[in-house]
Structure formats: structure tokens, C-alpha cells
């Protein structure tokens, strides 16, 4: 890209600052609380944005409404705005329309959640950072290109989607499942929905998450007569220690992309049915939160948990009445299998690194996180996706805000990607 084009785009974005700020205020004034949390959904916000952008000169704007009787007008809208590029391979920029509820209103001390105000260079309101900043930055970058009549290298697809906060069944998950024709293997994607306050972290990978509840069943007895029962605490304690060893030995790979760089598996909650110091309870429950490096298979991991229990069982096994103890009930309360990581040499990552270096003088850290973003949807269908933005991480908190300077600076990075990648 010539220096001259870059200068023009950057200059244009600077001149659109007031526009960007106003757009953010208008977005916040149209709450789009996800119906999963009792809100009316994204309809009003989506229609407002559609109306806003339809005269800008996008090559095409697709609207894909997904039926949902809980939402206003029975639909969850998804908007895709295209700018035709030199090639048909796309650069996706994914921003989500929906928001979480405000939470405890008394904790909103700067302003009310849907009455945005500007204070000390920040715009306060629910949804300002999550994900208003991505909506505004990506649209302002597109506006700059369109007004300057600059053709992007790849075809740009800005996707303003529903339902990110509750599983994406009505959003990107729906589009990928029911409209596979929209995507192709040479596409790349940016998801500006997480980041750090100076923009120096690019997320390319995530660990799998497994929340499991293990209920160890022994046999209740008087604590002075342990031989008449079977103490499930002891079984659980052995299990916890053996699992620790298993994770270190069999799942022990170190991957410096992640912090911490290894699989972790922490017992977080325990419970039992003993109401008294002199009762050996019949059950002991342990909940584990495991964050597993993406190269390991969760089904195999679960098999290993069961095998571990069998090992312990063979030592303690006891027939009481007609049944054999101890027994194990394993319940999975949450499972998210990690998508394959985005290769760090893929063009979305290298261009982002280059953009941050050129425009901000930054050498970003490229890494993985402990779990789940919507980038996984792209990664699962083979589209490299990077998660990046410049934010103070106020999402889902009271007094959520976005920094106006970041709004503009991120638009410039996005524009750089549009022109260059
Ligand atoms: Zn978000």
C-alpha cells in the first residue's frame, strides 16, 4: 500500500471522529439486550444501523433474519455489509449487536446504562465497549474507504450479528450452519471483541473448557466404625491427587502461546452430605474446572477420568449389601472443545502485527486464552481468525465505557487491514 493511500484513510478517519462518537451514542440509546436475558433483542439497533449505512455505497448489504418468538418482531437480525475488493477472498470483521443486561442499577454511578454520556474522553453506557466499539470502528473504517473511493484488497464483509452473548445460535453460529455459501476457505477474520488497554495482545488460540462434577459414592457409617462403611472423602482425595499427576504427566505439554502455558485442572467446589463430625457421609462431590490445551481430545480426557477412578476403585472396592462401592457419577456442566488455533503466520495475524507496528509503534504479543470466543466458529471451518481490540475490559461491568481515542485508533488499524491484507 502506498504511503499516500494510508495517509488519506487515516486523515479521513480523524475527520470522522465526531461522527463516530455520535454513532456510539445512538447505538447505546437503542438497547439490544439478548432475549436469553429477558431483553427484546437486536431489532431496533439493527434497523437503525441499516438505515444509517444504506446510502454509503456498500457493494451489497445482506440481512439474514433468524426467527425467535422471544425477540421484538420475532426476529434476530444479522447484517452483512460488503465492499467488493480486488479479490473475492474476504476479510470478515465480526461485531455483535446484542448486549448483556445492565445488572445492578445502583452500581451505575456515572450515568444510567442507556443514557450515554461523554466524560474525560470516554463514552459511558451499556454496550459501549462490548461490542459497540467494534461496530463503530469497523463501520467508520469502511466509511473512510468508501468516501475516499479506495478499493480494498480483499472483499470486506462487516458482519453485525445477533446473539453473541448467549451462544450465537441466532448469530454467527446460524450463518455458518445455514449459509455456508457465505464463507470460503481463503477468507480471514478479525473479531474485535477482546483485548488489552494498549492494543498489544492478539488472541489466536484458546483452550478447551471442561466443568465436571464428580460424585463419589461410598457408604455412610458412624465415624467410630469406619470399617462398616466406605468413606467417600478418601476416594475423592486420592482422585484429586492422582488427577493432578495425570495432568502433569499425560497432558503435560508446554505451549508458550498460553499463559499459563499448560493444561490446568482445578478442584473448585466440594460438598458432602455429612451433617455432623461423627458421621462418615455416603457421598462426596468435587467440581473441577479444567482448561485443556487445544491439541488434547476431551473425549480421551474423560476416558482417562473414568480409568483413574477404576484404579482407585480396585484398591478400595467393597461389597455392601448387594452393591459394590465406591461408585462414581460424572456430570458435565459445561464443555467447550477448543477450535484449532489460528496459525501465527496467517495473513490476518501478520497484517495486524504490521498495522500495529506501522500505526502505533507496537510489537504485539500473540497468544492464547483460557477459553471461548466466537472466533472459534471461524476457526472450526478453517478460516483463520484473530481476536483483537484496544479496550480497558469494562465489558459486562457497571459504568462500562469505551475510550474515544481507542474508537478512532482501532478504526485506523481496521482500515489498514482492509486496504492491505
Ligand atoms: Zn462481546
pLDDT digits (tens, 9 = 90+) for 121-151: 999 999 999 999 999 999 999 999 999 999 9
131 Cα: distance to centroid of ligand 1 (angstroms): 5
The answer to whether residue 322 is catalytic is no
Mean pLDDT, consecutive 10-residue segments, the chain of 421 residues?
87 98 98 97 98 98 98 98 97 98 97 98 98 98 98 97 95 97 97 96 95 96 96 97 97 94 96 93 96 96 97 95 95 92 96 97 94 89 98 96 98 97 88
Question: In sequence order, which residues have a C-beta less than 8 Å from that of residue 280 and are 6 or more positions away?
Answer: 218, 220, 221, 222, 223, 226, 229, 231, 233, 274
CA distance 34 to 70: 10
Q: What is the pLDDT of residue 332?
A: 96
Q: What is the pLDDT of residue 262?
A: 96
Q: What is the pLDDT of residue 1?
A: 54
356 Cα: distance to centroid of ligand 1 (angstroms): 22
163 Cα: distance to centroid of ligand 1 (angstroms): 10
The answer to whether residue 400 is catalytic is no
Q: What is the pLDDT of residue 373?
A: 82
CATH level 3 topology of 3-206+340-420: Aminopeptidase (3.40.630)
Q: What is the pLDDT of residue 42?
A: 98
14 Cα: distance to centroid of ligand 1 (angstroms): 25
Please identify which residue in the block is written with the cell numbers 464443555.
Answer: 335
391 Cα: distance to centroid of ligand 1 (angstroms): 11
Candidate list 68, 164, 203, 400, residue with the active-site label: 164
96 Cα: distance to centroid of ligand 1 (angstroms): 7
Instruction: Quote the radius of gyration of the chain (alpha carbons, Å).
Output: 25
Start-to-end CA span in the chain (Å) = 10
374 Cα: distance to centroid of ligand 1 (angstroms): 9
Q: What is the pLDDT of residue 3?
A: 85
126 Cα: distance to centroid of ligand 1 (angstroms): 11
251 Cα: distance to centroid of ligand 1 (angstroms): 31
Please identify which residue in the block is written with the cell numbers 467508520.
Answer: 140
Q: Where in the chain is the domain with CATH 3.30.70.360?
A: 208-336
81 Cα: distance to centroid of ligand 1 (angstroms): 19
135 Cα: distance to centroid of ligand 1 (angstroms): 11
Q: Where in the chain is the domain with CATH 3.40.630.10?
A: 3-206+340-420
**208-336: CATH number:** 3.30.70.360
Candidate list 42, 68, 98, 129, residue with the active-site label: 98
Amino acid at each position: 500500500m502506498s504511503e499516500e493511500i494510508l495517509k488519506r484513510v487515516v486523515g479521513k478517519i480523524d475527520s470522522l471522529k465526531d461522527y463516530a462518537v455520535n454513532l456510539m451514542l445512538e447505538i447505546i440509546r437503542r438497547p439490544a439486550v439478548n432475549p436469553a436475558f429477558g431483553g427484546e433483542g437486536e431489532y431496533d439497533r439493527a434497523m437503525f444501523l441499516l438505515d444509517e449505512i444504506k446510502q454509503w455505497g456498500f457493494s451489497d448489504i445482506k440481512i439474514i433474519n433468524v426467527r425467535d418468538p422471544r425477540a421484538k418482531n420475532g426476529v434476530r437480525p444479522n447484517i452483512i455489509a460488503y465492499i467488493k475488493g480486488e479479490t473475492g477472498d474476504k476479510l470478515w470483521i465480526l461485531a455483535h449487536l446484542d448486549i448483556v443486561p445492565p445488572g445492578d442499577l445502583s452500581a451505575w454511578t456515572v450515568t444510567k446504562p442507556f443514557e450515554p454520556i461523554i466524560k474525560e474522553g470516554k463514552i459511558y453506557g451499556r454496550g459501549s465497549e462490548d461490542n459497540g466499539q467494534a461496530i463503530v470502528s469497523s463501520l467508520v473504517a469502511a466509511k473512510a474507504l468508501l468516501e475516499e473511493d479506495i478499493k480494498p484488497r480483499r472483499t470486506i464483509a462487516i458482519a453485525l450479528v445477533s446473539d453473541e452473548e448467549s451462544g450465537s445460535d441466532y448469530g454467527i453460529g446460524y450463518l455458518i450452519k445455514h449459509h455456508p455459501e457465505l464463507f470460503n476457505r481463503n477468507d480471514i477474520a478479525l473479531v474485535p471483541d477482546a483485548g488489552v488497554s494498549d492494543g498489544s495482545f492478539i488472541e489466536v488460540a484458546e483452550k478447551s473448557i471442561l466443568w465436571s462434577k464428580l460424585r463419589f459414592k461410598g457408604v455412610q457409617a458412624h465415624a467410630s466404625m469406619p470399617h462398616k462403611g466406605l468413606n467417600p472423602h478418601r476416594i475423592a482425595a486420592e482422585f484429586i491427587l492422582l488427577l493432578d499427576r495425570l495432568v502433569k504427566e499425560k497432558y503435560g505439554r508446554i505451549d508458550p502461546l498460553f499463559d499459563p502455558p499448560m493444561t490446568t485442572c482445578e478442584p473448585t467446589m466440594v460438598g458432602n452430605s455429612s451433617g455432623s463430625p461423627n458421621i462418615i457421609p455416603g457421598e462426596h462431590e468435587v467440581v473441577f474446572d479444567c482448561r485443556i490445551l487445544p491439541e488434547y481430545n476431551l473425549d480421551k480426557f474423560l476416558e482417562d477420568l473414568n480409568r483413574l477412578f477404576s484404579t482407585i476403585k480396585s484398591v478400595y472396592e467393597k461389597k455392601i449389601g448387594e452393591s459394590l462401592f465406591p461408585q462414581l457419577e460424572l456430570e458435565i456442566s459445561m464443555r467447550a472443545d477448543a477450535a484449532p488455533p489460528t496459525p501465527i503466520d496467517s495473513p490476518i495475524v501478520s497484517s495486524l502485527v504490521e498495522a500495529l507496528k506501522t500505526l502505533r509503534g507496537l510489537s504485539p504479543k500473540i497468544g492464547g486464552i483460557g477459553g471461548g470466543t466466537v472466533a472459534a466458529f471461524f476457526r472450526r471451518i478453517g478460516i483463520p481468525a484473530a481476536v483483537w481490540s484496544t479496550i480497558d475490559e469494562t465489558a459486562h461491568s457497571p459504568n462500562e465505557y469505551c475510550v474515544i481515542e481507542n474508537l478512532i485508533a482501532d478504526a485506523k488499524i481496521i482500515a489498514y487491514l482492509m486496504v492491505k491484507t
